[in-house]
């Protein structure tokens, strides 16, 4: 599942520094590669200690982790919604992503000039929010023009409902709020899904702080928390400067010692990758055999046949049943055979909803 998170932010907030640090994430987690499929797109390994523990027990020929794509979105200026600067490229790149990572500058440094002359993360956030909201408003108004007559004069119930939802979203955007917080039911968004609204996408705010603030945050971070409290958004505090220094160290051991000296359990990059994975509403299941131990990405709520289809479409079409081992049981008993002997392997049918961490074996017929 090639799902993408786009990193956005104004100039000199640390956006590109974090993206570059992601390219070195392999040495902070395990020996898995980062690769660039376009100049500004990276395929990033998702750190997951469960995969490593399974590999220690099974001793497979190879280990395959989950990945997500991180996109370094082009820069933005005021007026992007009207095509100013690289506006069209910026907005087009965001539209193609599944979620947004918004980097905000939350540190003072006279040597790093802010594009607007002063540090104000809430103002920075609002600049980008406004451009995205204006672009969405334009999309919504164009759709309203198309469905209004049909909704008011015809007997098309779907058109009428779509018009009602669009009207609510339009009013919400005009009030300076993002579409994701519009007062409509979750299922109502399906009526306007084809618009690919930018401000519907889930968002993670990354507060880029100085070294002294990486553990406890600072006044800038608190201002951001207050500003986004009603957005149903996540906040992550990271120091891009620290991450850049970590990325320059040669070995995993050196990096761990550096983190320990700072009182940190793990790098901010690892936290960012995992947070991005969660932001996309994803879950992980595993397959474990002597040839391969592998993590598979699914959307939360997938049934057993849907999860099987991630491996191959034939698995879903010919699904018969699934054999399921809970991760904790596998770790406790140490092998599939021991789990079976303990009676901890369950056989599930088509309606089974996978749980994060399940170890699966699918039976199918083609």
Instruction: Report the binding-site residues.
Output: 12-17
- What tokens does 2 get? 């090639």
Please state, in angstroms and rounded to a whole number, the distance separating the CA atoms of residues 196 and 98. Answer: 10
Contacts of 226 (CB under 8 A, 6+ apart): none
* Residue in the structure block whose two tokens are 């790093």: 112
Contacts of 163 (CB under 8 A, 6+ apart): 144, 147, 148, 150, 151, 152
Please state, in angstroms and rounded to a whole number, the distance separating the CA atoms of residues 123 and 44. Answer: 30
> What backbone torsions phi and psi does residue 311 show, to the nearest 5 degrees?
-75, -50
Of 208, 16, 12, 204, which is closest to residue 106 (Cα–Cα)?
208
Length of the chain: 366
Using CA atoms, how far residue 97 sits from 72, 135, 276, 298, 342, in Å, is 11, 16, 12, 17, 45
Cite the annotated binding site for ATP by residue number. Answer: 12-17
Please state, in angstroms and rounded to a whole number, the distance separating the CA atoms of residues 30 and 63. Answer: 10
């Amino acid at each position: 599942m090639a799902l993408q998170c786009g990193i956005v932010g104004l100039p000199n907030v640390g956006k590109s520094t974090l993206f570059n640090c992601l390219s070195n994430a392999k040495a902070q987690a395990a020996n898995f590669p980062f690769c660039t499929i376009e100049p500004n797109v990276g395929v990033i390994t998702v750190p997951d200690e469960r995969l490593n523990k399974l590999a220690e027990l099974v001793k497979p020929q190879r280990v395959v982790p989950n990945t997500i794509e991180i996109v370094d979105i082009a820069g933005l200026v005021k007026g992007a919604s009207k095509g100013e600067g690289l506006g069209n490229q910026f907005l087009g790149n965001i539209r193609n992503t599944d979620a947004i990572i918004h980097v905000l500058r939350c540190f003072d440094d006279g040597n790093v000039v802010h594009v607007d002359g002063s540090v104000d993360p809430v103002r920075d956030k609002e600049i980008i929010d406004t451009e995205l909201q204006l672009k969405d408003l334009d999309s919504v108004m164009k759709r309203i023009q198309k469905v209004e007559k049909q909704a008011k004069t015809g007997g098309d119930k779907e058109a009428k409902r779509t018009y009602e939802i669009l009207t609510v979203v339009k009013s919400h955007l005009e009030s300076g709020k993002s579409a994701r917080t519009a007062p409509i039911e979750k299922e109502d968004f399906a009526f306007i899904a084809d618009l690919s609204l930018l401000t519907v996408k889930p968002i993670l705010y990354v507060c880029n702080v100085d070294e002294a603030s990486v553990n406890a945050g600072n006044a800038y971070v608190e201002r951001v928390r207050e500003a986004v409290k009603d957005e149903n958004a996540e906040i992550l505090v990271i120091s891009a400067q620290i991450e850049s220094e970590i990325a320059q160290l040669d070995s995993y051991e050196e990096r761990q010692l550096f983190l320990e000296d700072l009182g940190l359990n793990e790098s901010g990059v690892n936290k960012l990758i995992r947070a991005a994975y969660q932001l996309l509403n994803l879950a992980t299941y595993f397959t474990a055999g002597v040839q391969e131990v592998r993590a598979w990405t699914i959307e939360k709520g997938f049934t057993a046949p849907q999860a099987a289809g991630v491996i191959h479409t034939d698995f879903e079409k010919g699904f018969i049943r699934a054999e399921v081992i809970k991760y904790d049981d596998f770790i406790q008993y140490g092998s599939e055979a021991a789990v079976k002997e303990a009676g901890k392997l369950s056989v599930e049918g088509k309606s089974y909803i996978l749980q994060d961490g399940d170890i699966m074996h699918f039976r199918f017929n083609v």
